[in-house]
Structure 1
Amino acid sequence: MSEQSLGEGASGFKARAGWTREQAAKIRRTDDTVAPIVYPPDDDQIPEVHIWDTWFLRERDGTLAEVNGYRVCFSLTAPADLLPGKRHDVATIRCFYSDDGRNWHNAGPVFDEALGQRQWAGSALYDDDGSVYLFYTAAGEDDAEELTYGQRIVGASGGTIHTGDGFAIHGPWTHHELLHPDGERYEREDQSRAMIYTFRDPWFFEDPATGETWLLFEANSPVPEGSDACGGDAEQQGFNGSVGLAHSPTGDPLEWELQDPLIDAVGVNQELERPHIVYKDGLYYLFISSHLHTFAPGLEGYDALYGFVAEEFSGDYVPLNESGLVATNPANAPFQSYSWMAFPHDDEVLVQSFFNYFDFAGETLDEIAHLPESEQMRRFGGSLGPTLRLDVEGTKTKIIGKLGHWHIPMRGETLPPTERELIRRARAGEDAASSYHATEN
């Protein structure tokens, strides 16, 4: 597919620098954006831990790395006997590996010691010299006696992978504080007036078109009191999520300079979680995850994967499917998956997420806490969910199928035909047979 124009004529609406209320007001579940219902797998591959936010080891060009035949991923984890709602308070990054993209094994915690009281999501780079960099969020102050919620973006260097006798990942790791909010482009915790504060989820990206090196992250845009943003509506102004950006002038994974946000959602949404880019057909697809409860008053969204597209990395970004909605859960299972992460495979875009709460159709996730603890445990998936298959073209996306739990295809693996493809083939066969019989007669 050739590079496409996303101007007013091609998309039907003009590109914007931010996610607007008018765009978000168009969010609706459709056949193209609702994922199939998810059921627990027959075999819980890694039963000893809860697993949620997950990211894969990638090369500089964004492709998923294969290290001597191994796929590698990193996940936030907690002991499986812990009440799921408390897992964020003790999150630890573990490494998992697979030699077939289906069966995964636990390589254990990545760090003996790390910055922060606990670690939240990030990304991982397999560099050209075989070294591993792990970017993560240091949540909480290191020496605080009680839980705190300050957030710093950290890069850990010194990792190496060994495959001579099985798989292992080793340090020694050195942890580097990379970025802090400046209070001007990105809100500091002491400036926040909102229900949730964010400065987290670093994601490494080297632009295949230019070679420029970037770090995306989740943040909040400062909105001074008395601002005319959102027509001066103070309540809407508190919903001020943004996709933050830093640039490495040398390509060094540990050297970053803050830039202006890539997009913002002031007056729309408070959390643009785990931002990441898929470069496809000469276009930049920016994806984020968000919750139904983080939309500003007057807007209704879902726990879902949202996306935007631009002709250049710097934008302007157009919401996919006009509203931004790319993939969400069914209405009768609204919290079955979360923390989606998209990546290219052949002509498709695949989307991995974690299996969250199933057999639960409450109006908010807060209602989980009202269930008996045994029911909270039973209904929490705590593992990787099925991988979704997306058809992505220009400003439009469509869910066209799914793979199994934990199925992350290996490089060069041919995916089974989708139901749509099987129907097309059947119809083509019928047409060919009809033509043959017509000729014979």
Structure 2
Amino acid sequence: MVNWNKEKLKSSFLVTLIAVAIICTSLVSIRVSAQENSDTFNWTREDVSKLTTSINNTAPTINKEELVEITSDSYIWDTWPLQYKNGLPAVVNGYKIIFALSVPKDVLPGKRHDSAEIHYFYSKDGKSWVSGGPIFKDGEALGSRQWAGSALINKDGKVHIFYTATGQKGEETITYEQRLATANAEILTTNSSVTFTNWSDHKVFLEPDGKYYQTVEQTSREESSYSFRDPYFFQDPKTAEEYIVFEANSAGALEERTCQSVSGNVENAKSYNGSIGIVKVVNDRFTEFELLSPLLEANCVNDELERPSIMVKGNHYYLFLKTHSDKFTPGLEAPEGLYGFASSTLVGGYKPLNGSGLVIGNPKSNPYQAYSWMVMSNGTVISFVNYVDVDGKTIEEIGQQAPDYQVEHFGGMLAPSLKLSITGEKTKIIHEKKQGVFK
């Protein structure tokens, strides 16, 4: 997800508070774990202050003119593959399938989150992709639009989609209420096409609880963003237990928080309360869950930790997330990038990779060139082309430019993939791969 207009977002909170509707979740059972937050890792200002950039963690500069769109009709951004439960990209009767947030090209890039929907694409060679259009039929998905998620296919061939249901159907004013939703379907293939059929009802399976994860009602106008989104399915290869991790904010109201740092209290820092949540899947129908305390909190450090994912390599669990440079608190200098953490256990014990957490950052000369990095199990990292060659403008200044400027400098397509070396608590970029490569 790319930055929202802050003034628009702040003004929407009051509307959201009034407009919040109760969605029926009678088919879903949630129980809260008795475990305490002692297992939650705290990403600190001291960690981030250790950050240095080098060739090992700085992405090569993107030349948009050398790239090819997989669809000429739409912009795409946050992208993920259909995966098996073990995290490997799925191949269904010879087809590879990916999903992406999408809008028609007549939508201004900065407004795309207000009407986003999930599209899917399929390919036999993993290079040339065919658009299948929206994954859901018109009106079936929950919310007024869909934001990012994940997708898996079971051994029986059933596909499960997890996504963010944002806003409310039929709302007259855009709101930013977010819930985690799911639906399942069967997949049909022919020699030339991939389609989905026999969809189940869509249901919300998780909303913020107010104890571990901040609710809309706990959010104040002074906070620049609100997050409860980006569900990612993960099966622990060591135990076969299943989980869904997601982006959230630490629970509680602004006036209840305090900040301590190496230099004392930091102005406005307590409004930054990004976290990574986790829920345990209790049954294979995805109707029973156990809500756990956060894997990570970045209180007084960062307020938007997006699209988390987990992979296991050797004896380590790796937790990855993405964030924007302007989502760090004042006084912290960090690039738009992919950040990661390693632990010997799934819950607790995480340490920032490379000392600070930075894994891949955009180059200073092109600070917004890519976003929404996702690490595949083989170390390949995918992303999309965001804004390029912006002549030193900030993301807010880009949004103030004429429509022609925004369109000219926005990519809205798959970026060149990167190959990442991951060893212990260290990572480095090995080389750049071709555009849109997932393996």
Corresponding residue for residue 179 of structure 1: 206
Which amino acid is 1:166 matched to? S
2:233 maps to 1:204:
yes
2:179 maps to 1:152:
yes
Corresponding residue for residue 23 of structure 1: 47
Q: What are the residue-to-residue correspondences of 1:56-67 with 2, within 5 Å?
A: 56-67=81-92
Displacement after TM superposition at 1:171 (Å): 2.7
SS in 2 for 1:156: strand
Corresponding residue for residue 193 of structure 2: 167
2:378 maps to 1:354:
no
Describe the superposition over 1:57-85 as per-residue Cα deviations: whole angstroms up to 9, x where unpaired.
11111111111111111100000122111
In structure 1, which of residues 58, 77, 87 is the aligned counterpart of residue 112 of structure 2? 87
Which amino acid is 1:22 matched to? E
SS in 2 for 1:166: coil
Between 1:171-180 and 1:387-396, the stretch displaced more is: 171-180
SS in 2 for 1:256: strand
Q: What are the residue-to-residue correspondences of 1:192-231 with 2, within 5 Å?
A: 192-193=219-220, 194-224=223-253, 225-230=255-260
Q: What are the residue-to-residue correspondences of 1:344-383 with 2, within 5 Å?
A: 344-345=377-378, 349-383=379-413
TM-score, normalised by the number of residues in structure 2: 0.86
Kept after mapping to 2: 8 A contact 1:226/1:232:
no
Describe the superposition over 1:292-351 as per-residue Cα deviations: whole angstroms up to 9, x where unpaired.
111012211121000000111112111001000000111110000000100122xxx110
Which amino acid is 1:24 matched to? V
Structure 1 residues 42 and 207: CA distance shift in structure 2, 3 A:
closer
Q: Tell me the distance in 1 between the aligned counterparts of 2:69 and 2:407.
A: 14
Structure 1 residues 16 and 58: CA distance shift in structure 2, 3 A:
same
Q: Tell me the distance in 1 between the aligned counterparts of 2:257 and 2:225.
A: 20
Which amino acid is 1:334 matched to? P
Which amino acid is 1:97 matched to? Y
Which amino acid is 2:63 matched to? Y
Q: Tell me the distance in 2 between the aligned counterparts of 1:254 and 1:363.
A: 46
Which amino acid is 1:37 matched to? T
Between 1:276-285 and 1:331-340, the stretch displaced more is: 276-285
2:96 maps to 1:71:
yes
2:331 maps to 1:298:
yes
| Unpaired stretches in structure 1, ≥5 consecutive residues | 1-14, 410-441
In structure 2, which of residues 420, 425, 429 is the aligned counterpart of residue 390 of structure 1? 420
Kept after mapping to 1: 8 A contact 2:321/2:338:
yes
Structure 1 residues 373 and 363: CA distance shift in structure 2, 3 A:
closer
Cα RMSD (Å): 1.6
SS in 2 for 1:285: strand
Q: Tell me the distance in 2 between the aligned counterparts of 1:387 and 1:139.
A: 29
Displacement after TM superposition at 1:257 (Å): 2.2
Describe the superposition over 1:397-441 as per-residue Cα deviations: whole angstroms up to 9, x where unpaired.
0001111112223xxxxxxxxxxxxxxxxxxxxxxxxxxxxxxxx
Kept after mapping to 2: 8 A contact 1:293/1:364:
no
Kept after mapping to 1: 8 A contact 2:230/2:306:
yes
In structure 1, which of residues 47, 53, 57 is the aligned counterpart of residue 78 of structure 2? 53
Describe the superposition over 1:333-375 as per-residue Cα deviations: whole angstroms up to 9, x where unpaired.
0000000100122xxx110000111122435211112322112
Displacement after TM superposition at 1:228 (Å): 3.9
Larger radius of gyration: 1
Corresponding residue for residue 435 of structure 1: none
Q: What are the residue-to-residue correspondences of 1:218-367 with 2, within 5 Å?
A: 218-224=247-253, 225-230=255-260, 235-345=268-378, 349-367=379-397
Displacement after TM superposition at 1:103 (Å): 1.0
Which amino acid is 1:135 matched to? F
Which amino acid is 1:162 matched to? L
TM-score, normalised by the number of residues in structure 1: 0.86
Displacement after TM superposition at 1:234 (Å): 7.2
